[in-house]
Structure formats: structure tokens, C-alpha cells
Structure 1
Amino acid sequence: MLRRSLLGAALATPALLLSGRARANAPVDVELILAVDVSRSVDPEEQELQFTGYEAAFRDRKLIEGIMGGPVGAIACQMFTWSDWHIQTIVVPWTRLDSPASAHGFADAIAAAPRRTWLYTSISGAMDFAARQFGQGFEGTRKVVDISGDGVNNSGRPVADAREEALAQGIVLNGLAVLDKQPSPFAQTAGLPPLDTYYREEVIGGPGAFLVVAEGFPAFEAAVRRKIIREIAAVPAPGARVERFA
């Protein structure tokens, strides 16, 4: 009797562990990471426009309907800010969004998130950090990183290396490039292409990847709302690789 009991317990253990993993990784339609630039090129007013833009997006009725319209009817979303190669801060942790209440709660968390400004612009650092965040409690049919910024990479390792590693993990990298009224002196002196061209050629990648261009920070809210609606679509419709908002 004791032997049978021990054998039964041993056979049950893998099933229990599997059940625990299933509970730990809840299915969602999309795992979406919002990576927000807070380098010194983004002044306090512009940073506030970014945060209020994301906040307004998650209060938008059409976006909420999109969240609830997928096969699972839920997405998982996280938001972090980034600057120097070693500075990334999670301001809203992974959250399951499956209702108007949960979407509004996420918007409330964005509104309450701290506003801080750092120095440099490390898109590669943001990519590396984002790639480590997936699989933490959720399992999406797609893994998407939404990188918004107004400058080129000037800190950390080459963007091409970080991008290649992220794409190898099946991550889709989308971009939201903000064409600021004052172009980056670094980009000009380095002879780099315009920011929208840089994001299109060097940053975005993966199946269906696309770039949204905001012609200045006042256009950010409309741009980010459109961008997230495309990203959470259950079956992303073929769309323009680059969309512009003025």
C-alpha cells in the first residue's frame, strides 16, 4: 500500500508542476511591451505628452473593443521607460487587460507613473531589456515591443545586434518615431539619416512590423492610439509599413 501511494505521488508530481506552469502563464492574444524614451532630448512637456498619450489610448472605446475582440479576449501589457544603456524602469508591471475596467486601471497606473529624465538614448538597451520581460505570467500568440522615441541610438551596443537577437526570439519590433522640432545634434554630426528613415531601416522588424511617425509631440496621442489598435488586432490586417500623423 505504501509503495503504491509513493508511486502515485511520483506520477502526480509532473502533472501538478505542469498545471502550475499553465496557471503561471495565462493565455492572452498578445504580450505587448510599451518602451518609452525619457532621454534628455525629451523635455518635461514632451514627456508629459507621451504619458498622457498612452493614458488616453487605454481609455479609448475602440481600443478597448479591440482588446476584447480577440480569440482569448485579453492582452497582457507592460510599460517601461528607457534612456542610457543601463537605465530601464518598469513603470506599469505586466497587467491582464480584458475589460473596460482593467483598461482604465492600466490608464490610471500610467497617469500615476513617475516622470523622470535621464541622459542618453539607448535603443539597443531598450530592446535587450524588453526581450527579457516576456513569459512572466503570460503566454501570448504574439510578442510585440512598441518602441517610442525621438532620437537615434547613442549609448550601449549596436542596435543591429540587439535587434537581431530579439527577432531570433520571435519578437516583433514596432516603432513610434517622434520628429521633434529640434533634430538631434548627434544624428546630424554623425551623418545619420532622418529619424523616420532610421527607425524604418534600423529599428523595426519581424512579421508585420510597422512604424508610426508623429510629426511632433502634439501628434503623439493620435499616433500611439492608432499604433496600439493595429498591434492588438487578432488578425493584423495588412497595412502601410509607415503611417504618419501631423
Structure 2
Amino acid sequence: MPIEILGRRTSRRVMLGGVLAAPALLTGRAARAQEPVDIELVLAVDVSRSVDEVEQELQFKGYAAAFRDPRLIEGIAGGPLGQIAVTLFTWSDWHIQELLVPWTRIDGRAAAHGLADALDAAPRRTWLYTSISGAMDYAAGLFGQGYEGTRKVVDISGDGVSNSGRPVAEARADALAKGIVMNGLAVIDRSPQPWAAGMPPLDDYYRDEVIGGPGSFLMVAEGFGSFESAVKRKIIREIAIAPPPGPLVERAYA
């Protein structure tokens, strides 16, 4: 809400003088605002039209269940700092991303369950197209907002190839150049879909076009019924202190 300020000339001098006199102070405050965490994790969730209401609900419930899982909470506690920072947004068209969970420090059961509760209460909306590059660009811009992680990871989940926005290869290259690791969670729908004709297998596409960076990997959910199992395993692997060597592609079944 805007605040009415009386005495515009005096106020203007004070504001301008304060800004000019203390740029170093402002910079120092910004630098000190970065709280160290073991990992900055961005969760990007597909809500394009190929994800129906039931499937979208399975996604949200899967992420919420992951942050209520004692194994995940134990994994966070076992890190050098014992805390991570997480944010979650949904994405669809190249210009449509909705931040549902702002950066949140997870340092124990209460904070993890609070994030899960926020997901339970978050709005469910569906849009049209699938822009993985748009999701990558938006995710890359979220880092450095209050936290500084030893690792920076983006976790993109979806059930289709990109069909909106700039080339995925360009967006991925820009993210990798910033030291961001791109992981993927591809949801495979084995029922025939007219719009999927002529497109590459989704798991191959995510493996070859989406994931990248040191230790990156792809989790494949064989149908939305296996999404909860897939997302739990994926996040637990992502938050490991020193992620053990694992397969480039893992699969989860209902």
C-alpha cells in the first residue's frame, strides 16, 4: 500500500541524499542477506493442457507427500548446514509461470510440513502450451534471492516436449553457464495421444535436451500414478550431501 509523504522537497532531498551517501552500505546489506544453505532447489511443475485436473492433483499431492516423508527430512538434516532452500512454480506457455511457494528455508520437520501444507492450499490452474525453455529461463532468474547454496538445482517435471518459446538448447546453455544443474522428471503416458504423433519418446527427449550439468539425472514416472514415488526418490537424491553415482535415468512404477 503506498504511503503518503508530506513535504515533498524535504523528503526528496533526504531520500536522494541517503541513496547517494550510502551505496556501499546498501551493497553490503544485500551481500549479507544471502543465507548459506546446502542446496537451492527450484521445483518447476508443468500445468499445460496435456495435464488434466486429476493428473495435476497427483503432481501437487506428490510434491506435498515428498516433504512429509521422514527420509527427506532426515536427508536435509544430514547435510553440512542441515538446511536447504526450496521454491516452487508452475509453468506452461513461454510467458506463463506462477510462483506458488516463494523461497523457503527447510531445516526440519515443521518447515517441511509447512511447505507441504502450502502446496495443499495452492491454486490449481491449467494453461495451454508447453514451454520448457520458458520454465528454464524463469527458474534461472530465481536464484540469489536471500540464499546461497553450495549447489543450484532446477527440477523440471512435465509430460510433453517443448512447443512454445525459444529453443530449449539455448535456455539450457544459459542456465548451465551460470552453474545451474538441470534435472528432469518426465511423466510417461502410455495411452496414445494424437498431439504426440511424430514426436520423440519423452524420456529420450528429456535425457538429451533438458537435463545437464554436473551430476544431473532424469527420473521417469511411468504414468501419473507413479508420480509420488518418483518425486520422493528424485528430491531425496538431489539433496544428498554428495550425490552418489547413480544411473543417468531412473524409473518409477505405480
Question: Structure 2 length normalisation: TM-score?
Answer: 0.88
Deviation per CA, 1:136-176: give whole Å up to 9, x if none.
00000100000000000011111111111011111000000
Question: Which residue of 165, 175, 184 maps to 2:184?
Answer: 175
Alignment partner of 1:115 is 2:124:
yes
Cα pair 1:177 1:213 within 8 Å, conserved:
yes
Structure 2 gaps of 5+ residues are: 1-21
Give, in angstroms, the shift of residue 18 of structure 1: 6.2
Question: Which residue of 41, 44, 57 maps to 1:48?
Answer: 57
Deviation per CA, 1:166-222: give whole Å up to 9, x if none.
11111000000000144553442xx33200000000000000000000000000000
Which residue in 1 is equivalent to 2:222?
215
Deviation per CA, 1:72-131: give whole Å up to 9, x if none.
110000000000000000011100000110000011111111000000000000000000
Tell me the matched-pair count.
232
Alignment partner of 1:204 is 2:211:
yes
Cα pair 1:151 1:184 within 8 Å, conserved:
no
Give SS of 1:212's match.
strand
Structure 1 gaps of 5+ residues are: 1-12
Identity across aligned pairs (percent)?
73
Which residue in 1 is equivalent to 2:241?
234
Q: RMSD across aligned C-alpha pairs, in angstroms?
A: 1.4
Which residue in 1 is equivalent to 2:9?
none
Give SS of 1:222's match.
helix
Which residue in 2 is equivalent to 1:133?
142
Give SS of 1:176's match.
strand
Which residue in 1 is equivalent to 2:171?
162
Give SS of 2:88's match.
strand
Give SS of 2:152's match.
strand
Give, in angstroms, the shift of residue 16 of structure 1: 5.0
Question: Structure 1 length normalisation: TM-score?
Answer: 0.91
Give, in angstroms, the shift of residue 23 of structure 1: 3.4
Cα pair 1:41 1:184 within 8 Å, conserved:
no
Which residue in 2 is equivalent to 1:28?
37
User: Which aligned segments of 4 or more residues in structure 1 are displaced greater than 6 angstroms?
Assistant: none
Over 3 Å counting, the alpha-carbon distance change for 1:72 and 1:151 in structure 2 is same
Measured in 2, the distance between the counterparts of 1:82 and 1:110 equals: 15
Over 3 Å counting, the alpha-carbon distance change for 1:226 and 1:245 in structure 2 is same
Give, in angstroms, the shift of residue 225 of structure 1: 0.2
Measured in 1, the distance between the counterparts of 2:195 and 2:75 equals: 39
Give SS of 2:37's match.
strand
Measured in 1, the distance between the counterparts of 2:134 and 2:192 equals: 21
Which residue in 2 is equivalent to 1:10?
none
Give, in angstroms, the shift of residue 21 of structure 1: 3.0
Measured in 1, the distance between the counterparts of 2:40 and 2:192 equals: 32
Measured in 2, the distance between the counterparts of 1:138 and 1:156 equals: 29
Give SS of 2:38's match.
strand
Measured in 1, the distance between the counterparts of 2:175 and 2:195 equals: 26
Question: Which residue of 154, 168, 171 maps to 1:145?
Answer: 154
